Protein backbone atom coordinates (compact mmCIF):
# COMPACT_ATOMS: atom_id res chain seq x y z
CA UNK A 1 0.00 0.00 0.00
CA UNK A 2 2.69 2.50 1.04
CA UNK A 3 4.75 1.66 -2.03
CA UNK A 4 1.79 2.37 -4.34
CA UNK A 5 1.03 5.68 -2.68
CA UNK A 6 4.65 6.59 -3.15
CA UNK A 7 4.48 5.85 -6.87
CA UNK A 8 1.27 7.86 -7.25
CA UNK A 9 2.90 10.84 -5.56
CA UNK A 10 5.95 10.60 -7.80
CA UNK A 11 3.87 10.28 -10.96
CA UNK A 12 1.65 13.16 -9.90
CA UNK A 13 4.55 15.45 -9.14
CA UNK A 14 6.13 14.56 -12.48
CA UNK A 15 2.90 15.39 -14.22
CA UNK A 16 2.71 18.74 -12.46
CA UNK A 17 6.33 19.54 -13.26
CA UNK A 18 5.80 18.54 -16.89
CA UNK A 19 2.70 20.63 -17.33
CA UNK A 20 4.43 23.58 -15.69
CA UNK A 21 7.33 23.21 -18.12
CA UNK A 22 4.89 23.01 -21.03
CA UNK A 23 3.03 26.06 -19.86
CA UNK A 24 6.29 27.99 -19.49
CA UNK A 25 7.58 26.92 -22.88
CA UNK A 26 4.28 27.76 -24.49
CA UNK A 27 4.26 31.14 -22.80
CA UNK A 28 7.83 31.81 -23.91
CA UNK A 29 7.02 31.03 -27.54
CA UNK A 30 3.87 33.12 -27.27
CA UNK A 31 5.96 36.00 -25.95
CA UNK A 32 8.47 35.49 -28.73
CA UNK A 33 5.75 35.48 -31.35
CA UNK A 34 4.31 38.66 -29.86
CA UNK A 35 7.75 40.28 -29.92
CA UNK A 36 8.29 39.31 -33.55
CA UNK A 37 4.85 40.63 -34.49
CA UNK A 38 5.64 43.86 -32.68
CA UNK A 39 8.98 44.21 -34.50
CA UNK A 40 7.26 43.57 -37.83
CA UNK A 41 4.60 46.18 -37.11
CA UNK A 42 7.35 48.67 -36.24
CA UNK A 43 9.15 47.86 -39.51
CA UNK A 44 5.92 48.43 -41.49
CA UNK A 45 5.51 51.83 -39.84
CA UNK A 46 9.17 52.48 -40.59
CA UNK A 47 8.59 51.91 -44.32
CA UNK A 48 6.00 54.68 -44.22
CA UNK A 49 8.35 57.06 -42.43
CA UNK A 50 11.07 56.20 -44.92
CA UNK A 51 8.76 56.93 -47.85
CA UNK A 52 7.84 60.30 -46.37
CA UNK A 53 11.33 61.52 -45.43
CA UNK A 54 14.19 59.59 -46.93
CA UNK A 55 13.54 58.59 -50.57
CA UNK A 56 14.73 61.90 -52.01
CA UNK A 57 18.32 61.04 -50.99
CA UNK A 58 18.32 57.27 -50.50
CA UNK A 59 15.94 56.21 -53.29
CA UNK A 60 12.59 54.43 -53.22
CA UNK A 61 14.28 51.02 -53.10
CA UNK A 62 17.04 52.20 -50.73
CA UNK A 63 19.42 52.04 -53.70
CA UNK A 64 21.01 55.43 -52.92
CA UNK A 65 21.30 58.74 -54.84
CA UNK A 66 22.61 61.65 -52.81
CA UNK A 67 23.08 59.35 -49.82
CA UNK A 68 24.58 55.84 -49.82
CA UNK A 69 22.53 52.71 -50.56
CA UNK A 70 20.77 51.30 -47.49
CA UNK A 71 19.41 48.11 -49.06
CA UNK A 72 22.68 46.24 -48.47
CA UNK A 73 23.17 42.94 -46.59
CA UNK A 74 25.51 44.62 -44.08
CA UNK A 75 22.62 46.66 -42.65
CA UNK A 76 20.27 43.66 -42.24
CA UNK A 77 19.88 41.97 -38.87
CA UNK A 78 17.77 41.23 -35.83
CA UNK A 79 17.09 44.50 -33.97
CA UNK A 80 17.04 42.64 -30.62
CA UNK A 81 20.32 40.82 -31.14
CA UNK A 82 22.52 42.96 -33.40
CA UNK A 83 22.68 45.80 -30.91
CA UNK A 84 25.85 47.43 -32.33
CA UNK A 85 24.27 47.76 -35.76
CA UNK A 86 21.01 48.95 -34.19
CA UNK A 87 22.81 51.69 -32.24
CA UNK A 88 24.87 52.78 -35.25
CA UNK A 89 21.73 53.19 -37.37
CA UNK A 90 19.76 54.86 -34.60
CA UNK A 91 22.53 57.38 -33.87
CA UNK A 92 23.21 58.15 -37.53
CA UNK A 93 19.55 58.87 -38.20
CA UNK A 94 18.93 60.74 -34.92
CA UNK A 95 22.04 62.94 -35.01
CA UNK A 96 23.00 62.98 -38.71
CA UNK A 97 26.55 62.89 -40.00
CA UNK A 98 28.94 65.46 -41.44
CA UNK A 99 29.51 65.39 -45.16
CA UNK A 100 32.45 66.55 -47.21
CA UNK A 101 32.82 70.23 -48.07
CA UNK A 102 33.05 69.30 -51.75
CA UNK A 103 30.76 66.37 -52.36
CA UNK A 104 31.51 64.28 -55.41
CA UNK A 105 29.96 61.14 -56.75
CA UNK A 106 31.56 57.88 -55.67
CA UNK A 107 30.94 54.52 -57.27
CA UNK A 108 30.55 51.95 -54.51
CA UNK A 109 31.68 48.35 -54.71
CA UNK A 110 28.12 47.14 -55.13
CA UNK A 111 27.76 49.29 -58.25
CA UNK A 112 25.58 52.03 -56.77
CA UNK A 113 26.59 55.65 -56.14
CA UNK A 114 26.98 57.86 -53.11
CA UNK A 115 27.76 61.56 -52.97
CA UNK A 116 28.76 62.02 -49.33
CA UNK A 117 26.97 65.26 -48.71
CA UNK A 118 25.76 65.70 -45.12
CA UNK A 119 23.15 63.37 -43.63
CA UNK A 120 20.60 65.56 -41.81
CA UNK A 121 19.77 64.98 -38.12
CA UNK A 122 16.20 63.71 -37.65
CA UNK A 123 15.59 63.55 -33.89
CA UNK A 124 13.40 66.22 -32.36
CA UNK A 125 16.17 67.10 -29.86
CA UNK A 126 18.44 67.86 -32.79
CA UNK A 127 15.77 70.00 -34.47
CA UNK A 128 14.40 67.22 -36.69
CA UNK A 129 10.87 65.90 -37.12
CA UNK A 130 11.07 62.31 -35.80
CA UNK A 131 10.35 61.21 -32.21
CA UNK A 132 11.89 58.18 -30.52
CA UNK A 133 9.13 55.82 -31.69
CA UNK A 134 9.57 57.01 -35.30
CA UNK A 135 13.33 56.52 -35.08
CA UNK A 136 12.96 53.00 -33.68
CA UNK A 137 10.47 52.18 -36.43
CA UNK A 138 12.71 53.35 -39.26
CA UNK A 139 15.70 51.43 -37.82
CA UNK A 140 13.55 48.27 -37.63
CA UNK A 141 12.56 48.86 -41.23
CA UNK A 142 16.17 49.18 -42.46
CA UNK A 143 17.25 46.07 -40.52
CA UNK A 144 14.37 43.73 -41.27
CA UNK A 145 11.90 45.41 -43.62
CA UNK A 146 11.03 44.71 -47.25
CA UNK A 147 12.41 47.38 -49.60
CA UNK A 148 9.68 46.63 -52.15
CA UNK A 149 7.09 47.87 -49.67
CA UNK A 150 8.28 51.52 -49.67
CA UNK A 151 6.61 52.22 -53.01
CA UNK A 152 3.17 51.67 -51.49
CA UNK A 153 3.73 54.44 -48.95
CA UNK A 154 5.07 57.19 -51.20
CA UNK A 155 2.65 60.04 -50.47
CA UNK A 156 0.31 60.57 -53.44
CA UNK A 157 0.68 63.78 -55.41
CA UNK A 158 -1.36 66.57 -53.86
CA UNK A 159 -3.42 67.76 -56.82
CA UNK A 160 -6.70 69.64 -57.08
CA UNK A 161 -9.15 67.51 -59.10
CA UNK A 162 -12.50 68.28 -60.72
CA UNK A 163 -15.69 66.17 -60.42
CA UNK A 164 -14.48 63.69 -63.02
CA UNK A 165 -11.32 63.11 -60.98
CA UNK A 166 -9.02 64.82 -63.49
CA UNK A 167 -6.47 67.43 -62.43
CA UNK A 168 -8.05 70.89 -62.44
CA UNK A 169 -5.32 72.77 -64.32
CA UNK A 170 -6.64 76.28 -63.77
CA UNK A 171 -7.24 75.76 -60.06
CA UNK A 172 -3.70 74.37 -59.71
CA UNK A 173 -2.19 77.39 -61.44
CA UNK A 174 -4.27 79.74 -59.30
CA UNK A 175 -3.22 78.01 -56.07
CA UNK A 176 0.55 77.71 -56.66
CA UNK A 177 2.50 80.35 -54.68
CA UNK A 178 3.01 83.63 -56.55
CA UNK A 179 6.73 84.01 -55.75
CA UNK A 180 8.24 87.29 -54.60
CA UNK A 181 9.11 90.40 -56.64
CA UNK A 182 7.42 89.21 -59.86
CA UNK A 183 4.74 90.87 -61.99
CA UNK A 184 1.43 88.99 -62.00
CA UNK A 185 1.91 88.11 -65.63
CA UNK A 186 5.39 86.64 -65.09
CA UNK A 187 4.23 84.67 -62.07
CA UNK A 188 1.20 83.18 -63.87
CA UNK A 189 3.35 82.35 -66.91
CA UNK A 190 5.85 80.44 -64.74
CA UNK A 191 3.11 78.55 -62.91
CA UNK A 192 1.46 77.59 -66.21
CA UNK A 193 4.68 76.07 -67.52
CA UNK A 194 5.28 74.28 -64.20
CA UNK A 195 1.86 72.62 -64.46
CA UNK A 196 1.61 72.13 -68.25
CA UNK A 197 5.14 70.76 -68.65
CA UNK A 198 4.60 68.12 -65.97
CA UNK A 199 7.07 69.39 -63.35
CA UNK A 200 4.11 69.04 -60.95
CA UNK A 201 4.04 65.27 -61.56
CA UNK A 202 7.31 64.90 -59.66
CA UNK A 203 7.88 68.10 -57.68
CA UNK A 204 5.83 70.18 -55.29
CA UNK A 205 5.75 73.91 -54.50
CA UNK A 206 3.93 75.22 -51.44
CA UNK A 207 2.54 71.75 -50.67
CA UNK A 208 0.97 71.27 -54.14
CA UNK A 209 2.37 68.53 -56.37
CA UNK A 210 4.33 65.29 -55.92
CA UNK A 211 7.34 64.10 -53.90
CA UNK A 212 9.33 62.03 -56.41
CA UNK A 213 11.90 64.83 -56.81
CA UNK A 214 12.88 67.48 -54.26
CA UNK A 215 10.37 70.06 -52.99
CA UNK A 216 11.05 73.28 -54.92
CA UNK A 217 9.25 75.70 -52.55
CA UNK A 218 12.49 77.54 -51.79
CA UNK A 219 14.55 76.65 -54.85
CA UNK A 220 15.35 80.35 -55.43
CA UNK A 221 17.45 80.43 -52.26
CA UNK A 222 19.12 77.01 -52.44
CA UNK A 223 22.44 78.17 -53.81
CA UNK A 224 23.48 80.69 -51.19
CA UNK A 225 27.09 80.37 -52.34
CA UNK A 226 26.32 81.18 -56.00
CA UNK A 227 25.38 84.49 -57.65
CA UNK A 228 21.85 84.68 -59.05
CA UNK A 229 23.29 84.53 -62.60
CA UNK A 230 25.21 81.35 -61.80
CA UNK A 231 22.15 79.76 -60.20
CA UNK A 232 20.01 80.75 -63.19
CA UNK A 233 22.57 79.23 -65.56
CA UNK A 234 22.57 75.98 -63.58
CA UNK A 235 18.77 75.74 -63.46
CA UNK A 236 18.41 76.51 -67.18
CA UNK A 237 20.99 73.89 -68.11
CA UNK A 238 19.38 71.39 -65.74
CA UNK A 239 15.85 71.84 -67.05
CA UNK A 240 17.01 71.88 -70.64
CA UNK A 241 18.66 68.47 -70.25
CA UNK A 242 19.28 66.96 -66.80
CA UNK A 243 21.25 64.08 -68.28
CA UNK A 244 23.95 66.47 -69.55
CA UNK A 245 24.60 68.28 -66.26
CA UNK A 246 27.81 66.95 -64.84
CA UNK A 247 27.66 67.82 -61.18
CA UNK A 248 24.00 67.87 -60.32
CA UNK A 249 24.41 67.84 -56.58
CA UNK A 250 21.55 69.95 -55.34
CA UNK A 251 22.94 73.34 -54.42
CA UNK A 252 21.51 73.40 -50.94
CA UNK A 253 22.61 69.86 -50.16
CA UNK A 254 26.12 70.82 -51.21
CA UNK A 255 26.24 73.95 -49.06
CA UNK A 256 27.87 72.09 -46.26
CA UNK A 257 30.05 74.08 -43.88
CA UNK A 258 30.69 71.58 -41.07
CA UNK A 259 33.55 69.18 -40.29
CA UNK A 260 35.02 67.38 -43.26
CA UNK A 261 34.69 63.65 -43.61
CA UNK A 262 37.84 61.72 -44.46
CA UNK A 263 37.11 60.22 -47.86
CA UNK A 264 40.56 58.74 -48.47
CA UNK A 265 39.25 55.23 -47.80
CA UNK A 266 36.33 55.53 -50.19
CA UNK A 267 36.30 54.14 -53.70
CA UNK A 268 37.41 56.64 -56.35
CA UNK A 269 35.11 59.46 -57.49
CA UNK A 270 33.24 58.47 -60.60
CA UNK A 271 30.78 59.68 -63.20
CA UNK A 272 27.44 60.65 -61.65
CA UNK A 273 24.62 58.13 -61.70
CA UNK A 274 21.94 58.55 -64.35
CA UNK A 275 19.34 61.04 -63.18
CA UNK A 276 15.69 60.08 -62.76
CA UNK A 277 14.57 63.44 -64.11
CA UNK A 278 13.74 63.18 -67.80
CA UNK A 279 14.54 65.63 -70.57
CA UNK A 280 11.25 67.42 -71.11
CA UNK A 281 11.85 69.28 -74.36
CA UNK A 282 10.94 72.80 -73.22
CA UNK A 283 11.70 75.70 -75.59
CA UNK A 284 14.40 78.19 -74.59
CA UNK A 285 11.76 80.81 -73.92
CA UNK A 286 9.74 78.45 -71.71
CA UNK A 287 12.87 77.57 -69.75
CA UNK A 288 13.75 81.24 -69.29
CA UNK A 289 10.25 82.13 -68.03
CA UNK A 290 10.03 79.07 -65.79
CA UNK A 291 13.41 79.77 -64.18
CA UNK A 292 12.39 83.41 -63.59
CA UNK A 293 9.52 82.02 -61.54
CA UNK A 294 11.67 79.41 -59.76
CA UNK A 295 14.24 82.05 -58.75
CA UNK A 296 11.46 84.07 -57.10
CA UNK A 297 10.64 81.16 -54.74
CA UNK A 298 12.56 81.94 -51.54
C1 LIG B 1 19.44 65.37 -47.83
C2 LIG B 1 19.79 64.00 -48.11
C3 LIG B 1 19.45 62.91 -47.11
C4 LIG B 1 18.23 62.63 -46.55
C5 LIG B 1 16.91 63.35 -46.78
C6 LIG B 1 18.43 61.45 -45.73
N7 LIG B 1 19.73 61.05 -45.78
FE8 LIG B 1 20.54 59.44 -44.84
N9 LIG B 1 22.38 59.93 -45.56
C10 LIG B 1 22.65 60.96 -46.43
C11 LIG B 1 24.09 61.00 -46.69
C12 LIG B 1 24.80 61.98 -47.61
C13 LIG B 1 24.67 59.96 -45.94
C14 LIG B 1 26.15 59.58 -45.86
C15 LIG B 1 26.73 60.32 -44.68
C16 LIG B 1 28.13 59.91 -44.33
O17 LIG B 1 28.34 58.74 -44.07
O18 LIG B 1 28.96 60.78 -44.28
C19 LIG B 1 23.56 59.30 -45.25
C20 LIG B 1 23.73 58.21 -44.41
C21 LIG B 1 22.69 57.49 -43.86
C22 LIG B 1 22.84 56.27 -43.09
C23 LIG B 1 24.16 55.55 -42.78
C24 LIG B 1 24.41 54.48 -43.79
C25 LIG B 1 25.69 53.74 -43.60
O26 LIG B 1 25.92 52.79 -44.39
O27 LIG B 1 26.50 54.08 -42.72
C28 LIG B 1 21.60 55.87 -42.72
C29 LIG B 1 21.23 54.63 -41.92
C30 LIG B 1 20.66 56.85 -43.24
N31 LIG B 1 21.37 57.82 -43.92
C32 LIG B 1 19.29 56.79 -43.05
C33 LIG B 1 18.42 57.81 -43.43
C34 LIG B 1 17.02 57.83 -43.07
C35 LIG B 1 16.30 56.75 -42.28
C36 LIG B 1 16.50 58.98 -43.59
C37 LIG B 1 15.09 59.51 -43.45
C38 LIG B 1 14.58 59.63 -42.11
C39 LIG B 1 17.58 59.67 -44.30
N40 LIG B 1 18.72 58.93 -44.17
C41 LIG B 1 17.42 60.85 -44.99
C42 LIG B 1 21.73 61.84 -46.98
C43 LIG B 1 20.40 61.90 -46.63
C1 LIG C 1 9.64 62.15 -63.72
C2 LIG C 1 9.91 62.99 -62.60
C3 LIG C 1 10.41 64.41 -62.78
C4 LIG C 1 9.89 65.41 -63.59
C5 LIG C 1 8.73 65.32 -64.58
C6 LIG C 1 10.66 66.60 -63.31
N7 LIG C 1 11.62 66.32 -62.37
FE8 LIG C 1 12.95 67.65 -61.58
N9 LIG C 1 13.83 66.15 -60.52
C10 LIG C 1 13.37 64.86 -60.45
C11 LIG C 1 14.25 64.10 -59.55
C12 LIG C 1 14.09 62.62 -59.18
C13 LIG C 1 15.24 65.00 -59.08
C14 LIG C 1 16.39 64.68 -58.07
C15 LIG C 1 17.71 64.63 -58.72
C16 LIG C 1 18.00 63.38 -59.51
O17 LIG C 1 17.41 62.32 -59.35
O18 LIG C 1 18.87 63.44 -60.36
C19 LIG C 1 14.94 66.28 -59.72
C20 LIG C 1 15.68 67.44 -59.50
C21 LIG C 1 15.26 68.70 -59.88
C22 LIG C 1 15.90 69.93 -59.48
C23 LIG C 1 17.12 70.03 -58.55
C24 LIG C 1 18.37 69.87 -59.38
C25 LIG C 1 19.62 70.07 -58.56
O26 LIG C 1 20.54 69.28 -58.75
O27 LIG C 1 19.69 70.97 -57.75
C28 LIG C 1 15.20 70.97 -60.05
C29 LIG C 1 15.48 72.46 -59.92
C30 LIG C 1 14.14 70.37 -60.85
N31 LIG C 1 14.22 68.98 -60.73
C32 LIG C 1 13.23 71.08 -61.58
C33 LIG C 1 12.27 70.50 -62.42
C34 LIG C 1 11.40 71.26 -63.32
C35 LIG C 1 11.37 72.79 -63.41
C36 LIG C 1 10.63 70.35 -63.99
C37 LIG C 1 9.62 70.61 -65.11
C38 LIG C 1 10.15 71.25 -66.28
C39 LIG C 1 11.01 69.02 -63.50
N40 LIG C 1 12.00 69.16 -62.56
C41 LIG C 1 10.43 67.83 -63.90
C42 LIG C 1 12.29 64.33 -61.10
C43 LIG C 1 11.51 65.00 -62.03
pLDDT at 156: 82
Q: Whose CA is nearest to atom 41 of ligand 1?
A: 54
Cβ atoms 182, 293 nearer than 8 A? yes
Q: Which residue has the higher pLDDT, 297 or 262?
A: 297
Question: How far from chain centre, in Å, is Cα 16?
Answer: 55
Assess whether pLDDT exceeds 50 at residue 73. yes
Q: What is the pLDDT of residues 175-213, one digit of tens each?
A: 999 999 999 999 999 999 999 999 998 889 999 998 777
pLDDT at 255: 41
pLDDT at 153: 92
Q: Which ligand 2 atom minimizes the distance to the CA of 222? A: 27
Q: What is the pLDDT of residues 27-64, one digit of tens each?
A: 778 888 999 999 999 999 999 999 988 987 788 888 77
Cβ atoms 173, 192 nearer than 8 A? yes
Residue 92 C-alpha to ligand 1 middle, in angstroms? Answer: 7
Residue 67 C-alpha to ligand 1 middle, in angstroms? Answer: 5
Q: What is the pLDDT of residues 241-295, one digit of tens each?
A: 987 776 655 444 444 344 444 555 555 556 666 677 788 899 999 999 999 999 9
Cβ atoms 297, 177 nearer than 8 A? yes
Mean local confidence (pLDDT), 63-88: 88
pLDDT at 249: 55
Amino acid sequence: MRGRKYIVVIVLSWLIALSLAFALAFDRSRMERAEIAHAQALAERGAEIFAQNCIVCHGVAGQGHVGPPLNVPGLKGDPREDTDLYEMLYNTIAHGRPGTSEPTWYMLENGSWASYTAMPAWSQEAGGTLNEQHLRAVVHFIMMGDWNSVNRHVPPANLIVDESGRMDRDAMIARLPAGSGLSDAASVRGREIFVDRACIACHSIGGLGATVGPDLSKVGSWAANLTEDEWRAFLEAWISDPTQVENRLPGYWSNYGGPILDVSDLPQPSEPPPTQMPRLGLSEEEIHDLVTYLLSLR
